Structure 1
C-alpha cells in the first residue's frame, strides 16, 4: 500500500464594510475572478471557500455573473462553501445573541443563493476562545478551522496535527481542523515542489492524515507582486498541475468529506488565541520588541523550537487597551446592540436595525496589524455610520427632545454622559478632561469625532530600513515585505499624549507656535488636559445643561496660580448646536497671565482633497483641511466637506488667535507604509490677564448643518 494524504485547500475572501469600490473591484479583477476562472478549468480540484457577507453582497450587486459561476462550481461539488458571521465580526467581541444572529443570518443568505447546507464556518482572524464552541454549535455549525498554533499552545506535536479534533463546551461539541502555518508561508510564495516535499513527509500507509491549507484569497493576486507571480508567471496552474499529477497519493477533499469519511483524532480544548502574528500585534509596543527579540534569538538555540511553540504573545481583546479609540467604538457597538435588542422584534424596523448593527460589527477598524485596520478612517466612518443608523432606528417613536443618560458606556467604572436630540448625540467624558469624545450627526449618520491619536508603532523603526523599500522583485508573504508607499515618512513621526477629542482645555506658555503644538513639542502650563472634572446636569423644558468644573494650577509669571474652569454646555431640543460658556476663576493671590486655548478635533473624509476646506468671516476660504496655520484675531472658523455634505461652524464672542493643523498618522497597510489624514485640529486661543479673585468668560458655539 502506498503512502497517501488528504489535502484540504481553504480560501478566505473578504473586503471590509466601507472599503472603496475601486479597491474591491481591483481585488475582484486581480484575485477573486482569475482564481475561480482557473478553478473552473480543473473539475477534479476541490476547494473550500469562504466569502465574507460584506464581499458577497458586493458581488451580488456588482458582479452577478460570479454568483452564477460559484453556483456552478458548487453544483458540480468542486466548491464547499463555508459560513460564518455575516459581516466578519470578531466573534468574542459580540454579545451571544449577536454572535448567533450573525451566523444564522449569513447561513440563510448563502442557502438563498446556492441551495446548499452550510456545515462549517470561518472564524474571523481565527480569534478563538473556548466559549465559542457552544455558540457555533447553537448556530448549527458542525466544524471550523483554526491555525495549528492554537493546537501547539495546547501541547500537541506536529505529527498530531494531521486531522480534526472534537472540542466541547457545556455539553455542546464542535469539530476543529488545524491549518498549517508552514503552508501559509509556502503558498503561493515557494515553488510547488516544496509543498510536495512537505506532503510526502506527512503521508502514511493508511492515508488517514489530513493536511489543511487555509488563508486569505487576496494572497492570490492582491498582495504586492502576487498577481504577476500567481497568474502571469503561472504559479497557480503549476501548483494545481503538480497536485493533479500526484493524485494517486494526494486526495483533494473538502472539510465535510473528511468528517464524513474519517474519525476525529480525539478530543481537545484550545487556549484563547489567534494566529501567531496577530498575538504579537496585540502586545504593547515595548513588550512586542522584547517578545520579538526573544523569539528571534530562539532560532539560534538548539532547543529553541521547543520554546517558541509556547510563546503565545498577547491577547486579542487587548487591542481595546492598545487603541482606546477601538474601545470607544466597541462601547458604542455594545450600547447600540442593547438598544436594538429592546426593539419589537416583530416589526420591520427591528430587522433593518439588526442589519445595521451587524454591519457596524465588521472587525477591521477595531484592531491593527499588517493591514491598515483602525488607521483607515473610511473603515471607521463606515462602521460608525451603521451603528448610528441602527441607533436612530431603535430610537424611532421615542423621546424627540433633548434628553440625557448617565452610564458607564466604556466599562471603566467611570460615568460618561450621553445627550441626545433628534439631530445629534453627544458623549462626554468627565473623568478625562471633561472632553466630548463622540459627536454623532444623525441626518448624515456620521461621527464628527471619528479621530485617532498619533502613537508609536513597532514598525516605525523600520521605515528608514532599506530592506523594506519597494525594490524587491520576488513575491513574498506580506509579513516579510513592507514597501514604503511614499518618501519622507520618517519626518512625520510625531506622537500625541492624549486622545484627539473635543473641549480639551490648554494653557500654553508664551511663544508657543502652531508648529510646536502640531509636533506635540510644547509644554503644557496647566493641569487640565486630561484631568478629571466634576459635573452637574439640569434637564430643562427644552434643553439639557451640563456643567463641568474643576480646580487646577496654571504656571504664570513664576507662580502657580490656582484657577477654576467651569464649562457649561447647553444642548437644545431638535437643534444641531452645542453652546459652550467657559468661565475661568482666578483663586490665587497672583495675576493669572496665560494663553488659554480650547481644542476641537473634527474628522472629515480627507485633508487636501477637492471640496474639503476652511473658511473664516464672510465665508472667505483660507485653504484645505490639511493646512497648518496660525490665524490672528478671528471669531469664527468653518469646516466644509462637500463629499460628506456637511459643514461645521465654530464661533466665539471674543476675538482670538487660532491654531489649525492636520493630524496625520504613519501606518502600515498591505500596500506599504503610508501617511493617513485622520482629522483637523482647531484651537482658538485667548491671552488672559485675570486679577486675583476675578473671572474671565467666553462663549463658543459649535453648529452643524447639511449641505
Structure 2
C-alpha cells in the first residue's frame, strides 16, 4: 500500500517519508480538501481515517464531522440541481461557451501576471545588494531584549530545555556583543530548582558586563488590571528576588503586555526605575512629532523606548528560516546571506541606519524568549534550527561595523529627543486582537482589550478574590514571632503567584469556559492563602485539637490536626492523604507545594491528586532533535503530589495478563478518632480491606497499615516531602541533602535547618526516591502490617 499523500510505500500504518501515521495523514488531507471546498474528497479521506482509529471518542468525532459536511453541503442537492437545470436551459449555449473562454483567458493572464510579480520580488530580493559601509563614523544603536517568563510549574522545565538554556548559551558565546534580559520572579524560582545552570549563565553575563537585567512585576500581572497594593507587592517582590539571586539593582522596567496608563510612570519611578517600553501604535496615538525610533521622556522623568513590531517580525522570520519548508528534506537551519529573510532583515536595518543622520535612533527588539525554540516545539518543528540560525545572525551583526548592540543603560541618559506630557492609554496589539477573538489566547464578544478588562466576569470575580485575600494578609498583626513572619511571606508569595499574567486574555481559562463554571488552578488557587492564615491563627491561639473544616475553600471538609506544634491537614474525601503539614514553631511548610500549579488543569478541588501527563505520548506530534527527544521521553512531571498516597497492588489475575490496582487515594474513606494506650489521639482511616492508623508525637508521625493480604499482595505508599518549602523555592535544589537505603530515607534543608528521617518496617521491596518539583518523592513498598515512621528534626 502506498501513502495517499506522497505515494511512497508505507511500513505498517506509518509513512516514513511524511513521518506520520496514516490516521493523521488522512485527517490532514481531509482538512486540506475541505478548505479547498472539495467536500466529496474530504468525506472520502475522513472515511479512510476511520480504518485507523481505535478510540470510540475519535470515531464519533470523525463521523460527526462527516455528517456536518454532508448536511451543510449536500442536504438540498436535488432541489438545487433542478433549479440549475432550468436556468441552464434558458441560457444560450454559445453565450456560456463564450463567457467560459473569456474566463479562462483572464485567469491565465492573472496567473502569469501574479507569477511574474512573485518571481520579480524573489529575483529582486535574491540579487539585492545591501550596502555595508560606515557613513560618517556613525553607528545605529540597536538593542536586543529577551523576555523569559513561565508560571511556577513544570512548564518552566520544558521551556528551559527547549528555549532558555540554549538561547543564553548562544548569547554568552558572542561575548563581545551586549544583550538585555528580563526574567520573571516565578520563572527564577522555578529554574532555581529545574535548571540552576540557566541562572548561572545570567549571573556570568552580568558579571562580565555583557547582560543588563530588567525588573518588572513578580508574576507578570498587568498593572492596569490589578489594584495598587497588589502592584506594589508585585514590584517589590521581583526586586527582592533579583537582589537575592543576582545581587543586582535593575533600572529598566518590563511593562507586562505593554498596557499603559500615565499613572504607571510615578509607580515605577518610585522604585528606582528609569526607563520602560511602549508599543509604536500607542506612541503614534499620543501625538509624537518625531520618528518612532528616537528616545523619549515622559514628563521629563521616565525614559520611554519604542517597540518596533516590524523589526521584531523580521528577526523572528530570520530565526525561523528553514522551519516551514513543506518538504521535510529541505528543513533545517537555512539562514544564509542569500536567504530572503536575511536580505529583508538587513535591508530594514540599513534603511533605519541611513535615516538616522543625527545618531539619535534606538532600534529595539523586545521579544518573548520562547520564540527561540519553545514555539517551534509546540508547532511541530525542530528547536535546534533556531539556535543555529541565531548563532549565524549574531555573527553577521558582529561583522557589520555600522550596527552597535547596546545595553539600554548605556544610551538612555541625555539622549532623549522628545518629551511627552501625556501618553494615550494602550495595550499590546496582539492582546487587543485576542480580546476580539483573533489569534492565540483569544476571547469572544469584546471590542478590544479595554472592553475585556472592564466587562470580563472572570476578571471581576478574581479582583474581588484579590481584595479578600489581600485583606487577610494585611490583617496579620505585626509580631516578632519568627514563625508568623515566615508564614506571612509565604502567604504573600502564594497570593502574588496566583496573579500570574492577571488581566491577559485566555489565561486561567477563557470567559467562555468561565460561563460553564470551568476554572483553572492558575488563578483559582489564590484560595490556598486560607490554609496559611489558619496556621497563623492556630499559632497565635495555640490549642491541640482535631477538627473538620473546609480549610482550603474547595467545598470539601478536611480533617485538621494540631499536635505538638505541628499543623496537619488530611483528606477524608481522598483516602486520608496528607495534604499539608506545617512546623508551627518555625513557620515552615513540609508538605503542600502551595506555590506550584498544574498550569493546564481545570480546577476540581484541592483534595484530588492529578498526575501530570508526560510528554512521551505526545512526541509523535512534535519534532525535537535527538537530545531533547530523549529528555522529553524520560522526564517525569511530579508536582503537588502531597503525602501518604496509597495504592494496593492486587494479586495477578488468572484471566488477565497484568496486575490490577486499588488506588485508595482516589476514594472517600471512613475515619474515626481513637485513643492509644496512653490516651493519645490517633486517626484511623479504613475500608473493608484496608486500614491506615496515624499516631502523632513531638517528633512527627507514625503510620501503621493493615490490609487483606488475600486480595492485596503489597501496598505502595508514595509521598512528596518539601521540608522548608519556601526556602527551597527561593534557593533551589542545592539546599536539600538526601540519602536513602532499602528501608530508610533522610531529607535535610541546610538553610532552614530542618529535616526528616523516614524509617520503614516490613518492606516488600526496596524503597525508591526521585525528584519532584521543589521536593523529594518517596516510594515505599510494604507488606501487611508495615509501618512508616517520619521523624522531624
Shift of 1:236: 0.6
State the match for 1:192 in structure 2.
Answer: 342
The residue correspondences of 1:220-299 to structure 2 (distance < 5 A) are 220-224=372-376, 228=382, 231=385, 234-246=388-400, 248-260=401-413, 262-283=415-436
State the match for 2:500 in structure 1.
Answer: 362
Q: Secondary structure at the match of 1:241?
A: helix
Contact 1:9-1:213 within 8 A present in 2 as well? yes
CA distance in 2 between partners of 1:282 and 1:200 (Å):
35
Determine whether 1:13 maps to 2:142. no
Q: Secondary structure at the match of 1:105?
A: helix
Contact 2:164-2:198 within 8 A present in 1 as well? no
CA distance in 1 between partners of 2:430 and 2:292 (Å):
19
Determine whether 1:50 maps to 2:182. yes
Q: Secondary structure at the match of 2:276?
A: strand
Shift of 1:29: 1.2
Shift of 1:32: 0.5
State the match for 1:315 in structure 2.
Answer: 449
Contact 1:5-1:210 within 8 A present in 2 as well? yes
| Larger Rg over CA atoms | 2
Contact 1:388-1:442 within 8 A present in 2 as well? no
CA distance in 2 between partners of 1:290 and 1:30 (Å):
28
CA distance in 1 between partners of 2:549 and 2:442 (Å):
47
Determine whether 1:136 maps to 2:136. no
Which digits, 9 at most, give the CA deviation of each residue in 1:121-154, with x for residues without a partner?
1112222222111111112211111322221232
Contact 1:73-1:79 within 8 A present in 2 as well? yes
Q: 1:202 to 1:610 in 2, by over 3 A?
A: farther
Greater Cα offset, 8-17 or 342-351: 342-351
The residue correspondences of 1:625-636 to structure 2 (distance < 5 A) are none
State the match for 2:477 in structure 1.
Answer: 344
Contact 1:85-1:106 within 8 A present in 2 as well? yes
Q: Counting strand residues as a fraction of each chain, which structure ranks higher?
A: 1
Q: Secondary structure at the match of 1:161?
A: coil
Q: Secondary structure at the match of 1:188?
A: helix
State the match for 1:209 in structure 2.
Answer: 361
Contact 1:164-1:178 within 8 A present in 2 as well? yes
Q: Counting helix residues as a fraction of each chain, which structure ranks higher?
A: 2
Contact 1:282-1:319 within 8 A present in 2 as well? no
State the match for 2:659 in structure 1.
Answer: none
State the match for 2:305 in structure 1.
Answer: 177
State the match for 1:166 in structure 2.
Answer: 297
The residue correspondences of 1:330-409 to structure 2 (distance < 5 A) are 330-347=463-480, 348=485, 349-363=487-501, 367-369=504-506, 379-380=521-522, 383-389=525-531, 391-392=533-534
CA distance in 1 between partners of 2:176 and 2:418 (Å):
27
Cα RMSD of the aligned pairs, angstroms, is 4.6
Shift of 1:37: 0.9
Q: 1:612 to 1:373 in 2, by over 3 A?
A: farther
Q: 1:186 to 1:113 in 2, by over 3 A?
A: same
Q: Secondary structure at the match of 1:223?
A: helix
- Normalised to the residue count of structure 2, the TM-score between the two structures is 0.46
Shift of 1:197: 1.2
Q: Secondary structure at the match of 1:89?
A: coil
- Normalised to the residue count of structure 1, the TM-score between the two structures is 0.51
Which digits, 9 at most, give the CA deviation of each residue in 1:20-70, with x for residues without a partner?
3xx322211111111111111111221110000111111222322222221
Gaps of 5+ in 1: 293-311, 402-419, 428-440, 453-469, 474-608, 621-641, 646-707
Contact 1:360-1:385 within 8 A present in 2 as well? no
CA distance in 2 between partners of 1:422 and 1:451 (Å):
14
Contact 1:188-1:236 within 8 A present in 2 as well? no
Q: 1:424 to 1:205 in 2, by over 3 A?
A: closer
Q: Secondary structure at the match of 2:203?
A: helix
Gaps of 5+ in 2: 1-135, 319-340, 556-577, 581-591, 606-619, 624-661, 671-685, 689-716, 721-793
Determine whether 1:82 maps to 2:214. yes
Contact 1:340-1:394 within 8 A present in 2 as well? no
Q: 1:184 to 1:389 in 2, by over 3 A?
A: farther
CA distance in 2 between partners of 1:230 and 1:268 (Å):
46
CA distance in 2 between partners of 1:122 and 1:327 (Å):
25
Contact 2:436-2:448 within 8 A present in 1 as well? yes
Contact 2:180-2:214 within 8 A present in 1 as well? yes
Q: 1:335 to 1:425 in 2, by over 3 A?
A: same
CA distance in 2 between partners of 1:11 and 1:290 (Å):
27
Contact 2:501-2:507 within 8 A present in 1 as well? no
Shift of 1:111: 2.1
Shift of 1:325: 3.2
Q: Secondary structure at the match of 2:376?
A: coil
Contact 2:157-2:195 within 8 A present in 1 as well? no
Q: 1:381 to 1:264 in 2, by over 3 A?
A: same
